[in-house]
Structure 1
Amino acid sequence: MNQVAFIELINPFKDKVFRLAKRLLTSTEEAEDATQEVMVKLWNKKDNLAAYNSIEAVAMTMTKNYCLDQLKSKRADNLKIVHNNFTDSDPLLDKKLEDSDCLEWVEKIISQLPEQLQILIQLRDVEQYEFDEIAKIVNMNETAIRVALSRARKKIREAMVNTHGYGIK
């Protein structure tokens, strides 16, 4: 097999090899090295590739094995396998408490806003009404509603930053 035929053979899945290596190694440079290593291994086996049903599957298997070897080797101490397909359905207790505390603070801050802003926040951010629906309910112009909501959110944000940044006021 000549070089042009080999390149035409591997081009359709070369990017897949890189993406798999990047997913496993997390480092772009390491993934590029892995891709190059796999391509060199495929080149060295170019005369025997016809024996395989799917050269792409062979390349992906080689990539996976090479990356796992890299992760195990001593020269890859700074790399780790990324497990983003596992999610714990229950958040940690401290996260639940923190979220609950933040929610209480937001509710407290909203309760200190003028009544009209409280209504707008409730309708838009809690009840998820569209601006045209809110305009009919509160008899206000949509632009005025957007401006009022922006100001209300800014006040809430500033109060939360002050609370979390400098302690309880």
Structure 2
Amino acid sequence: MRQQAFLEKINPVRDKMYRLALRLLVSKEAAEDATQEVILKLWDRKYSVKDYTNIEAFAMTSTKNYCLDELKAKKNNNLRLVHQNYENKSLSLQRELELKDELHHIEIIVNELPEQQKIVFQLRDIEQLEFDEIIEITKMKPTAVRVALSRARKKIREKLTNEHNYGLTSG
């Protein structure tokens, strides 16, 4: 496989690889390094990469595994939710602060989730991957993926509801 053909297959996936690495490793520099390392590993296997039916799933799986290996090596269990979809210049300063505060609370809640739930939540709700791709990336059974996602969403919803109600319960 020539360099141009390889880049045509990898470039569309590069941003997703970076976002997943950023989610797992927290640091932008570490995420950039991880993305580059995985791309280099894929380049080393360029002749077998062309035989994969879903290069995106393979690249995402490789990125996930590389990042988890890095986390194990550093014994660092941080996982942050940083989502920058709220860059709308027409927002008032108060609304912008409210959104940042809400994202901070979601980040704290996500940090409390078990590792599998964090990864499934990231892949499905942030990266918007299909269940088949998530199953292939995580090597989990379909039922386990759906249960992990359901539990993650439920936990986030409960914590946010509790926080918005200031801990008050009705009844």
Question: What's the TM-score once normalised by structure 2's chain length?
Answer: 0.48
Larger radius of gyration: 1
Question: What's the TM-score once normalised by structure 1's chain length?
Answer: 0.49
